[in-house]
Amino acid sequence: MAFPFLSAIVLLPILAGVVLLFLPPKNHKLIYSFALAVALVTFLLSIVVYVGFDTNGPPFQFIEKYDWLPQLRISYHVGVDGIAAPLVLLTGVVIFTGVIISQRIDDRPREFFAFLFLLASGVFGVFVALDLFALFFFYEIAVFPMYLLIAIWGWKQSREYAAMKLTLYLFIGSVIALVGVLAMYFNSGLYTFDFLALQNANFSPEFQKLWFPFVFFGFAVLGGIFPFHNWSPVGHVAAPTAVSMFHAGVLMKLGAFAALRVGIMLMPEGAQFHMWWILLLTLVNVVYGAFIAMTQTDFKYMIGYSSVSHMGLVAMGLATLNHDGLVGASVQMVSHGVMTALFFAVVGMIYDQAHTRQIPELGGMMKIMPFAGIAFIIGGLVSMGMPGFSGFVAEFPIFMGVWADTPWIAIVAAISIAVTAAYILRAVGKVFFGELPAALEGHMHDIKISEKLALGILCVIMIVIGIFPSVVVPMVEHGVEAVLALVGGA
């Protein structure tokens, strides 16, 4: 019997979370060391899955299937395709780097890491689930600890409001999606939640047109699609640094991924019928998010609205239902996940010392923490879609895919590139160059070696993908081929 890599990835964090709760609460060094070791093992396991995925093999690999509730035909059925495997690795990267920079957590650290690992298990579970009941189970597991992590360890000024707003949005979205999934369960005649079985259910065109919006928008709320996006920047700002990294880097990808996996792949005719107006909504995401980001003076809010804009590109790529758009959207999920995790990590490092996120109150950080400054600039180049970085590998195919069907939308969306360059360059110039404000003199110092390691890992990934797209694109294309076969795209 082959080693169950996916089960190990999903279950190890949650088991580690339980163990953490039994460690001595005041032994911070032991708690952190244990958390770091678990995050490292999880990261290495996700690398094994990524490297072991055969781009010439079947659509879904590393498959495991066990009966869970056989009387309801619910099973523990997991596997990854060429779209899910990179997202599993992304989650491994973000949890590892997030734990590295969480060394300063001194308020109930064992509970913090336990909830963080519970969140990670939920995210891993969604990415690998091939049973819709299991997918919802892990989806809710991912949402619940997010509330506690923000409400307990978040920014005091807004954490309770942000945590409640985020949770309500996501729970309402998941309930709406669940209604659509139950409709599929009963209408299929198969009475199963198995994803592969439901792919062959042949839902009628009328059924798909009616229920596709339920499933797609129910999940897309978590992806930050307009007009259901405003929970996202508020949540980003209130969350502690590692949770912000996880929130923007991985959690928002759950929504886009589930909308693709359950909405588009199980109801392809419904997707084709509705996608024209969804494409218009994503255009609002892209342009509106960029302009609002440019007006922000709070560093975290700026990145939060930047995420709304960049996640709009993901949804826009999905809405094209063609090869270039789907490949670009899938790579953008990885690129944006790494980039935004880096952004929030740098902002957290600055805030920990400066105790302000107001851009006008910062300056001269390149002299104090040059490594963080260079890392932020690399992230900025990715955000602007510069050639040689992962952002270009992701965004260029998206615009190509959009142009193929509706050139005017691609032209309008391209405005966001110029706007993004404007607010990124403004932030770089004001925060990292110029003179250090007098109020911050004597309070700032360089970041730790461990923090440099975390930023270095994130930077290397974005550069490697940018220079060698072949490390991820063929795998993504392997997954996209299955989607195209369903929607009849090219």
> What does 89-121 look like in DSSP terms, one character per residue?
HHHHHHHHHHHHTTTT--SSHHHHHHHHHHHHH
Tokens coding 1: 């019997």
Helix, strand, coil percentages in the chain from 3-state DSSP, rounded to 5: 75, 5, 20
As a whole number of angstroms, the distance between CA 212 and CA 202 comes to 14
Look at residues 204, 200, 201 and name the one whose alpha carbon lies nearest to residue 212: 204
Asked whether residue 238 carries a pLDDT value surpassing 90, the answer given is: no
Q: Is the pLDDT of residue 80 over 90?
A: yes
Query: Where on the phi/psi map is residue 364: left (φ > 0), alpha (ψ -120 to 50), or beta?
Result: left
Beta-bridged to residue 65, according to DSSP, are 77
Residue closest to 146 by CA, chosen among 175, 169, 130, 180: 169
Q: Which residues contact 29 (CB under 8 A, 6 or more apart)?
A: none
Average pLDDT of the chain is 90
In angstroms, rounded to a whole number, what is the distance separating the alpha carbons of residues 159 and 149? 9
Distances (CA, A) of 127 to 9, 83, 366, 473: 11, 9, 38, 18
Q: What is the DSSP string of 367-388?
A: HH-HHHHHHHHHHHHHHTT-TT
Sequence-separated (6 or more) residues with CB below 8 Å from residue 295: none
Contact 324, 313 (CB under 8 A): no
318 C-beta neighbours (distance < 10 Å), count: 32
Q: What is the pLDDT of residue 391?
A: 93
Give per-residue pLDDT as tens, 243-274.
Answer: 888 877 888 888 889 999 999 999 999 999 99
Encode burial over 408-418: b for 16+ CB neighbours within 10 A, e otherwise: ebbeebbebbe
What tokens does 475 get? 């795998």
pLDDT at 121: 94
Phi, psi of 66 (to 5 degrees): -140, 145
142-155 pLDDT, tens per residue?
888 888 888 888 87
Alpha carbon distance 127, 134 (integer Å): 11
One-letter identity of residue 435 = E
Q: In this model, does residue 176 exceed pLDDT 70?
A: yes
The gap between the terminal CA atoms of the chain, to the nearest Å, is 38
Whether the per-residue pLDDT at 33 is higher than 60: the answer is yes
As a whole number of angstroms, the distance between CA 337 and CA 333 comes to 6
Task: Kindly state the helix (H) or strand (E) to which residue 23 belongs, with its residue range.
Answer: none
* Residue whose pair of structure tokens reads 């239902």 in the numeric block: 321
70 pLDDT band, cuts 50/70/90, is confident
Report d(CA 99, CA 94) in Å as an integer. Answer: 8
Rg of the chain, C-alpha, whole Å: 21
Overall average pLDDT of the 439-459 stretch: 90
In this prediction, residue 490 carries a pLDDT of 53
| pLDDT (average), residues 409-417 | 92
pLDDT digits (tens, 9 = 90+) for 279-336: 999 999 899 999 999 999 998 889 989 988 998 999 999 999 999 999 999 999 999 9
Residues of the chain with pLDDT > 70, as a percent, come to 99
The residue with tokens 């006008």 is 360
Measured in whole angstroms, the distance separating CA 461 from the mean position of its chain's CA atoms is 15
Distance separating alpha carbons of residues 162 and 168, to the nearest angstrom: 10
Whether residue 489 is predicted with pLDDT greater than 70 in this model: the reply is no
pLDDT of 469 higher than 60: yes
User: Strands, E, within 404-474: which ranges?
Assistant: none
Write down the pLDDT at residue 20. Answer: 93
Decide if pLDDT at 467 tops 70: yes
The rounded distance, in Å, linking the Cα atoms of 430 and 356 is 14
Whether residue 177 is predicted with pLDDT greater than 60 in this model: the reply is: yes
Does the structure show a pLDDT above 70 at 1?
A: no
Q: Find the Cα–Cα–Cα–Cα dihedral 246, 252, 257, 258, rounded to 10°.
A: 110
Side chain identity, residue 30: L
Kind of pairing, strands 74-80 and 61-69? antiparallel
DSSP 8-state assignment for residue 68: E
User: What average pLDDT does range 405-416 have in this prediction?
Assistant: 92
CA pair distance 270, 210, nearest whole angstrom: 8
DSSP codes joined into one string, 195-241: HHHHTTS---HHHHHHHHHHHHHHHHTTTT-TTS-THHHHHHHHS-H
* Spatial contact of 40 and 54, defined as CB atoms under 8 Å apart: no
Please state, in angstroms and rounded to a whole number, the distance separating the CA atoms of residues 275 and 157. 39
Ramachandran category for residue 410: left, alpha or beta (phi over 0 → left; psi -120 to 50 → alpha): alpha
Cα–Cα distances (Å) from 471 to 290, 331, 339, 401, 475, in that order, read 29, 11, 17, 21, 8
pLDDT, one tens digit per residue, over 182-205 is: 999 999 888 889 999 998 888 899
Q: What are phi and psi for residue 221, nearest 5 degrees?
A: -55, -45
pLDDT reported for residue 151 = 86
DSSP 74: E
